[in-house]
Structure 1
Amino acid sequence: MKRPLMGAGIALVAGTAAALFDVPGLWVAIIAAVGVVCLMKWTECSLIYILGLSVFLFVGFCRGMSSTTEVYENFHMEEHIRGEIWRVQQKTKSTYIYVKTDEKFSVLVTVACRENEEKRQQEYYKGQVIQVVGRAEALDTPSNPGQFDAMQYYGSQGIMYRLRADEISIICEGSWIWRKLRFLEKLKGALFNFYSLTMSEDGAGVVQAAVLGDRSGFQEDLRRYYQQNGWMHLVTTSGLHLSFIAMGLYRRLRKSTVPVLPSTVTALLLMMAYGYMTDFGDSMLRAMGMMVFLLVGRLLGRKMDVPTALVLTADVLLLLRPERLFLAGFQLSFGAVAGMEVGKYIIKYWRNGEKKQKNENADIFKEYYLKKISEILWVQIGIFLVTLPVLLWHMYEVPLMGFFYNFFMIPLVSVIVPAVFAAGLIGISHIPILAGAAMKVMWGIDWLLKWIHKLPSCVLICGKPQWRQIFLFCIFMFIALWILSRKQIGCKKFVKCLLFAGILVVGCFILMFVRERSDQILCMDVGQGDGICILGEDGEAILVDGGSSDVKKVYQYRIEPLLKYYGVRKIDAWFLTHGDSDHVSGIEEALSSCEIPVRQVILPDIAEDETLDEIRRSAIEKNIPVRIIRPEDQLTSGNFRLTCLYPKVEWGLMDKNNNSLVLVLSRKMGEKDFRMLFMGDLESEGEALLLEKKGLPDCDVLKVGHHGSSRATSMHFLKAVMPEWTFISCGTDNRYGHPHAQTLERLDKAGCQYLTTARQGALILRIFSGDYQVMAWKKKRKY
């Protein structure tokens, strides 16, 4: 059998994945038995090899079962620790110090220094033993669809919890090995300062991130631009850069007639030094593992087999820490290399049977470059196909321009990274003539980056696919590759290629555009604030408020990821109930980014409000229509109808909360109407006026006013609306004490079931033809 080690490695990865995704052991055994029968019947593999595959599958499953992810939530968090530093990360406003404690089960702790500037000036190095006193915090789990999973990300690195440091003291400088290696960390600092001095802020941030793995200078707007263009892998110290530097050195040594052994050892030492300096990320470990297998294989006189090296490296990393399998960086790093191999596979069978022209010199030159371009094209297509499910699963969008930009960006980076690294080394040497030349190189690269940053960006928001869509996409992809590789198919090459392309297009369409949509209403967890998202089955999206007083950049980190998760490409209307920052900070942020366009902004009919007036001016500057809504006014969107009940400027209450916009949402649900009431921050005085002026219909669900304050949701009001369910939007351990005990007592007396975003996360209400369903995102529980 070809590549026996690759088959064993795939079996181990499959077993680990099955355990991590909670596949029952019985099902794994049944699938393994079916696989054994199929291999014995349709392949020429020996029985011993097939049984060996089963053993590797079992080993991977057992290793995945021993994963400690579930331990993190119940781990006892100490506020006084002592341990050894193994990683230091500089952030824009903090320093992250990763500490391995003295405990026998090797707890990894994140220590963040944010407030004390003196602590930020203290330099910390790997290997130092420190003592830390601070405030322990559990790692965040996502409380909204699409939100970043801090527990999964840091847990995959073995970190149990976060400790915000109040006091840090260095006990010792570490062992002699750590002290000898410290020059690499100081070299990194010297290169960082050189890039800062010789380049613009944006250019230095890009180079520092790409060459040194330090993103402290990589500005947020630039990061979003790179993400939209699919360039984030180019500004990460990934295996791509390691390949440029270490493999480039190896090839030059071999061309200089240096023997294989010294060339291999030199490349490996450089690889280890560079990996140490840039903190050994998963992508770096992948490249290092592959290079070790490939270089050692060449040293032993074996063929350099990239797919086998890729699978064996994945096996080693997953055996060390199975939770890596969940990370987007791990999946994209391995997926990109696998995609390159898929592209080479396509090229192999695409050219099968082509005749070479040997006698026409003019055509040979032309043919050479056409073939090179076609090779790059197919490799790009292979990478796109393999990484597409990963991008949609984790980021919910596809960078459209990135596919075309990578034709010149990847070759360009292969030149820039070594050039910048070499220029930095020469520049910090302080040799007058050479240092001057190095600075000119940096100025030239800075000018080139400024030109690149003017290129347009474009993304296609698709939403998160379901598992069955990914499964169908993989089936279509395998069928297409099988058709391309078969000689027995009785059709011309042109027809065969059309069939190949058509199957891939159908597979991509299913993965990117087929979504199961339903009418649903989400009470988002925005911390101490308010935010309602109304989604229609035909792709409509309406927001009511969206702000927070304790979550910074609430739109970027809470609202926008949720919209992308559901594939929302436009916001049809954005209602604002009043001008408090915990209701409007999200739209203030959104109007400045405009990645997801807002079609109209709807404001309440009240007297002047400085905050709302500023939002009105910002919207008009962006050519976004602004509408004032008054009682009896309606907005129809899909199956939903939103009717304004309150306020009216003539009613003239002075308190901002009691001038909050009140909306009732209605939708046909069988023979009756479903109704939900949105109260903003309306309190008892406003409730009384509303009952006096308008009266209120019965409702199925009530979004409680003013975050559950005791001054809102009076008993008289509850008797008038008689809700079955009530949603309360508030932050965890907020300083206002929301929801107040008096409010919860009134809800209990009225017979209302209630849920809070602080405890249950986003509250999701799905409406069907004859009923509705309530679900809490954080608890993954249906009611």
Structure 2
Amino acid sequence: MRKRPFLLLATEFLLGIVCVREQLPAWGVLAVLLLVYTTPWKERGMRKVLFAAGLPGMFLLGMLQMQRQIDFRQQYLQKLTDGQEVRLAGKIDRIEPKTRCVYYYLKDCTVEAESQTLPCNDVIAYVSSASHSAGQILNIEGTISLFTEASNEGMFDARQFYQSQKIDFGIWVTKISRVYGKPDRYRCALQNMKKRANDVIRHSIRDDGVLSAMLLGEKGALDAEIKSLYQRAGIAHVLAISGLHISLLGMGLYRLLRKRLHTRYVTAVLATTVFLISYAVLSGNGVSTQRAVGMCLIYLFADVTGYAYDMLNALGIVVLVLLWENPFLLSYSGFVFSVMAVIAIGVGANVLLEWEHSWKRRQQAGEETIKKTFFSRQKEGILVSFAIQLFTIPLVAYSYYEIPVYAMLINLFVLAVVNGLLGLTVLGVIVGMAFLPAGRVLFAPCGWMLDSYRFLCEVSLKIPGAQRITGKPAHIRIFWYYLGLGVFLLAIYACARRNEKHKDCRETADLCVSRRKKRLQGIVFSCFIAFLLLFLLFPQKKSFEIDFLDVGQGDGIYLCTGGGTSMFIDGGSTDVKQVGKYRILPFLKAKGVSEISYWFVSHTDTDHVSGLKEVLVSGYRVEYLVFAKAVEKEAKTKELAELARSHGTKVLYMQAGDTVRSKRAAMRCLYPKASNKAEDVNDLCLVLQFEEGDIRALFGGDISTDVEEQLSRREKWDKVLIFKADHHGSRYANAEALLKCIRPEITVASAGKDNRYGHPSPDAVQRIKESGSRFFCTIEGGRIRVRVIENKLVCETYVK
């Protein structure tokens, strides 16, 4: 690593950024250790100056740049509120049509707020139609739309996603008061070319938008089902413009110009540079594209000037440039994945291949030239894919909470044919622009390849254990994993160097011994990697907790017993679309919950079961679905029960007096009896009391005061520590009589912001607080978690 100064400088700069972002001095300690590792006192000349002064200097620069960007952002964000009327000026960088509106991505912006005009980062302007062009400067009036933060574990955090790209807020445009400047002809020409290419693809092949996403970065037409299929199978990386595309197209053009057309170095380099920059702009100029184009340009510079190209040094230069411009990129998963994939190839794959080649040279009695066969090339491909998987698997688990187990095997085929797929697509677009029928002929093999992709993905996902829910690994686990991976690679490298010393061996007996040693080393290294993966991905021991999820206007409650049994109560919403897909399932996966043993349904109103239906359809494992016996013959109950059975879930019915037990925990049904009748379905809600040790928790669904009065007449009530406010905190529930009986310590209401019912009602909240209970609501706190820490009941909110 000491031979790669730019990589070292980039690492120190990165550590400085993280030190400020996380506000942890431990990152400064790592920076000092890295400086000690480089041993500047042993260097001479410029390298001594570079290591002794440059490394700590880059660390400080990283800290200063991060703090400067944070202060700049806060300067104007603290003056802006959601829905605020403002004036804004900005230059259109790119235009992206959406289903309901058009996005103008504005740069070089200034915002006028509180009688002040302040410069700001990039902004998204939402307009009804695209009547302007890239390069024009707009003066607009509109209302601020701040990006929403995640309110549950696993939920998509729009604020972090956009702010990591230096896009700080959106604005709904009500008036464009003035337009300056002429359209950028270069960008407009590229956009027209992109539109023509997209039209050729669309009229030539039914590909569900895959080829447009792969070649043009146009994901608006990408079928959601295909995107999900690729993600679950582990091949979604082919949909992103990255190093794979840049190396194929850019370096393919360069080699064509140099080796086939025999053009001069300078001409080939300039032509390739113009092509790469134009392609980056045309495809959206994403961060991974910028990284790939930057490294490719460094390669071209090294080739034309006669310098040796080093992948990791080139990566260091590009990372320095990108992080200097935007230090928030460390929170952007696309950037982190892109960088880690390059490190995997430059470090992991090179070490594994060196180990493999060292054994081959030893078996070939020291011959430097290794004989390559078809099988040896496939083996090398497996090693490269294996290295990428090893380096990125913590990132996959951290970002998606599950890993595709067979992704490495599928990618062997996918990567083997992707070059041909992209090549045929490019050729088909070029020919199709001139003569569409001829282009359609070239797109025919592309359709076959995409069909094979889909077939492989679908087959792999049907194999048992195709996806493993891992949960979100703790930072400390990821740190120890990468440290262990470093030790593994050092051991592999040491074995390779040892083999080099014995490569001249020609005795048959020694060759037999060497084969046995190779197998033994392979077994030892495989066991070590298996241990690392188990350490990283093995779920943590579960303990008691209750999580009241923020599902908007609805209910969704996760409960884990002290013995690790997972239960869920309700799961639906009337104001959050696809709440099961985007809130409930991501939460469960982030927690590492691979199945729910008992899912209780208080009643079948939409705000209690809409998400549950999505969970069942998704194939997520639910062992038992539990209804009230009193509503067994209701049409909605029958429909939901049939849906559950069709997906392998057993159905149970409870009535007052029934109990579901799990080790030391019990879930008792207090109401209704099977014979109970009511005009309002809310008054037949399943009322449950959870018991474990001294802990009591009461869940009453949407019952009214009439049912609460019946419950309050029970002969004996143990003190209830946790109470889920009935009917989302309605004024027509949470009666004083019941509150006096149960005497809760913590009460939680689940409701949606600005809901039309006025939940939770101020009257109900007052009664709850007068009973001596602490009150929490998902509107303000997001997910509300109750657990026991050091024998004390602790309530935590997700939104601070």
TM-score greater than 0.5 by the shorter chain: yes
Of the structure 1 ranges 393-402 and 751-760, higher mean CA displacement relative to structure 2 is found in 393-402
SS at match of 1:446: helix
| One-letter code aligned to 1:108 | D
Aligned counterparts, 1:269-284, within 5 A:
269-284=274-289
Counterpart Cα distance in 2 of 1:127 and 1:422 = 30
Kindly state the Cα deviation for residue 483 of structure 1 after the two structures are TM-superposed.
Answer: 1.1
2: CA distance, partners of 1:742 / 1:558: 30
SS in 2 for 1:143: coil
Checking the alignment, whether the CA contact within 8 Å between 1:477 and 1:503 is kept in structure 2 is: no
Question: Equivalent of 1:666, from 688, 691, 704?
Answer: 691
Distance 1:43 1:495 in 2: 38
The partner residue of 2:385 within 375, 380, 385 is 380
Corresponding position of 2:508: none
Q: SS at 2:394's partner residue? A: helix
Give me the whole-angstrom Cα distance separating, in 2, the residues matched to 1:635 and 1:731.
31
Contact 1:129 1:170 in 2 (8 A): no
Matches within 5 A, 1:396-407: 396-407=401-412
8 Å Cα contact 1:708-1:739 kept in structure 2:
yes
Q: 1:639 to 1:267 in 2, by over 3 A?
A: farther
Shift of 1:499: 3.0
Does residue 756 (structure 1) correspond to residue 777 (structure 2)? The answer is: yes
Contact 2:676–2:684 (CA under 8 A) maintained in structure 1: no
Give the stretch that moved more between structures: 707-716 or 693-702: 693-702
In structure 1, how many angstroms separate the alpha carbons of the residues matched to 2:539 and 2:677?
Answer: 49
Cα 1:498–1:404 change in 2 (3 A) is: same
Q: CA deviation at 1:322?
A: 0.6
Which residue of the partner structure matches residue 197 of structure 1?
203
- Quick check: 1:89 aligned with 2:91? no
Which residue identity is paired with 1:232? Answer: A
Check if 1:187 corresponds to 2:193.
yes
Correspondence for 1:155? 163
Cα displacement string for residues 400-423 of structure 1 (whole angstroms, at most 9, x for unaligned residues): 121111111123222212321231
Secondary structure of 2:92's aligned partner: strand
- What do the CA deviations read for 1:424-478 (whole angstroms, capped 9, x no partner)? 232123x3xxx32211222332233233212222321111111221121112111
Shift in Å, 1:770: 3.3
Deviation track 1:265-288 (CA, whole Å, cap 9, x = no partner) reads 111111111111111111111101
What is the alpha-carbon root mean square deviation over aligned residues?
Answer: 2.6
SS in 1 for 2:429: helix
3-state secondary structure, aligned to 2:144 = strand
Note the alpha carbon deviations across 1:664-694, whole angstroms, 9 max, x for none: 11112xxxx2000011111211211233467
How many pairs were matched up? 755
Partner of 1:744: 765
1:262-661 counterparts in 2 under 5 A? 262-341=267-346, 342-352=348-358, 354-355=360-361, 367-429=372-434, 431=435, 435-455=436-456, 456=459, 457=461, 458-486=466-494, 492-536=517-561, 539-594=564-619, 596-607=620-631, 608-661=633-686
Name the residue aligned to 1:15. Answer: 16
Given residue 565 of structure 2, which amino acid in structure 1 is its aligned partner? Answer: E
Secondary structure of 1:651's aligned partner:
coil
Q: Pick one of 689, 692, 710 that aligns with 1:689.
A: 710
Distance 1:32 1:228, change over 3 A: closer
Which stretch has the larger CA shift, 580-589 or 437-446? 437-446
SS in 1 for 2:254: helix
* 1:298 CA displacement: 1.6
Structure 2 match to 1:243: 247
Distance 2:124 2:373 in 1: 53
Structure 1's 737 and 471: CA in aligned 2 closer, same or farther, altered over 3 A?
same
On the 8 A contact 2:76/2:120 being kept in 1, the answer is no
| CA 686–184 in structure 1, closer or farther in 2 if over 3 Å, else same | same
> What percent of counterpart residues are identical?
27
Indicate if the aligned counterparts of 1:577 and 1:603 stay in contact, CA closer than 8 A: yes
Instruction: Give the partner amino acid of 1:548.
Output: S
| TM-score calculated relative to the size of structure 1 | 0.91
Q: Is the partner of 2:361 in helix, strand or coil?
A: coil
- 8 Å CA contact retained: 1:173, 1:179: no
Q: Quickly say closer, same or farther: Cα 1:730–1:108, change in 2 above 3 A.
A: same
Look up the SS of the partner of 1:644 in the other structure: strand
Matched, 1:105 2:119: yes
The equivalent of 1:116 in structure 2 is: none
- SS where residue 567 of structure 2 aligns? strand
Alpha-carbon offset, residue 592 of structure 1: 1.8
Letter aligned with residue 96 of structure 1: Y
Shift of the 404–125 alpha-carbon distance from structure 1 to 2, 3 Å rule, reads farther
Q: 1:441 to 1:315 in 2, by over 3 A?
A: same
Q: 1:629 to 1:111 in 2, by over 3 A?
A: farther
Secondary structure of the equivalent of 2:534?
helix
Is it true that 1:216 corresponds to 2:215 in the alignment? no
In structure 2, relative to structure 1, the CA distance for the partners of 1:387 and 1:484 (3 Å cut) is: same
Asked whether the 8 Å contact 1:147–1:562 carries over to 2, the reply is: yes
Matched position secondary structure for 2:571? strand
Question: What is the match of residue 510 of structure 2?
Answer: none
Question: CA shift at 1:39, angstroms?
Answer: 4.0
2:712–2:737 contact (8 Å) kept in structure 1: no
Report the counterpart of residue 698 of structure 2 in structure 1: 677
Corresponding position of 1:227: 231
Q: Which moved more, 1:749-758 or 1:292-301?
A: 292-301
Partner of 1:63: 65
Structure 2 residue ranges without an equivalent (≥5): 112-117, 500-513
> CA deviation digits over 1:721-762, x for unaligned, max 9?
100110110112222221111011111211110110000010
Pair 537,164 (structure 1): closer, same or farther in 2 beyond 3 Å: farther
Distance change >3 Å, CA 75–CA 281, structure 1 → 2:
farther
Q: CA contact under 8 A between 1:483 and 1:496: conserved in structure 2?
A: no
Three-state SS of the structure 1 residue aligned to 2:93 is: strand
Contact preservation (8 Å) 2:194, 2:216: yes
Alignment check: 8 A CA contact 2:19 2:28 kept:
no
Q: 1:364 to 1:482 in 2, by over 3 A?
A: closer
**SS at 2:623's partner residue?**
coil
Contact 2:700-2:726 within 8 A present in 1 as well: yes
Distance in 1, matches of 2:518 and 2:566, equals 46
Letter in 2 for 1:91: K
CA distance in 2, matches of 1:310, 1:635: 57
Instruction: Assess, with a 3 A threshold, how the Cα gap between structure 1 residues 358 and 749 changes in structure 2: closer, same or farther.
Output: closer
Equivalents in 1 of 2:627, 2:249: separation in Å? 57
> Which deviations, in whole Å up to 9, do the C-alpha atoms of 1:207-226 show, x marking residues without a partner?
12111212222122222111
Tell me how far apart the structure 2 counterparts of residues 7 and 157 of structure 1 sit (CA, whole Å).
24
Deviation sequence 1:178-231 (CA, Å, 0-9, x none): 13320111121222222222222xx14111211121222212222211111111
Q: Report Cα offsets for 1:78-120 as digits up to 9, x if no partner.
A: 534342221222334443322233345234222345xxxxx34
Check conservation: 1:128, 1:171, Cα contact below 8 A.
Answer: no
Q: Is the 8 A contact 1:531 1:546 kept in 2?
A: yes
Question: Which runs of 5 or more structure 1 residues have no equivalent in the other structure?
Answer: 114-118
Pairwise CA distance, 1:626: 1.3
Q: In 2, distance between residues paired with 1:212 and 1:221?
A: 20
| TM-aligned CA deviation for residue 43 of structure 1 | 6.2
Distance 2:271 2:773 in 1: 71
Q: 1:536 to 1:394 in 2, by over 3 A?
A: farther
Q: Is the 8 A contact 2:141 2:176 kept in 1?
A: no
Structure 1 residue 295: Cα displacement: 1.2
Q: Is the 8 A contact 2:731 2:761 kept in 1?
A: yes
Deviations 1:134-159 (A, max 9, x none): 44322111110111111111011222
| Distance apart, 1:625 and its partner CA | 1.3
Moved more, 416-425 or 66-75: 66-75
The whole-number CA distance in structure 1 between the counterparts of 2:641 and 2:519 is: 57
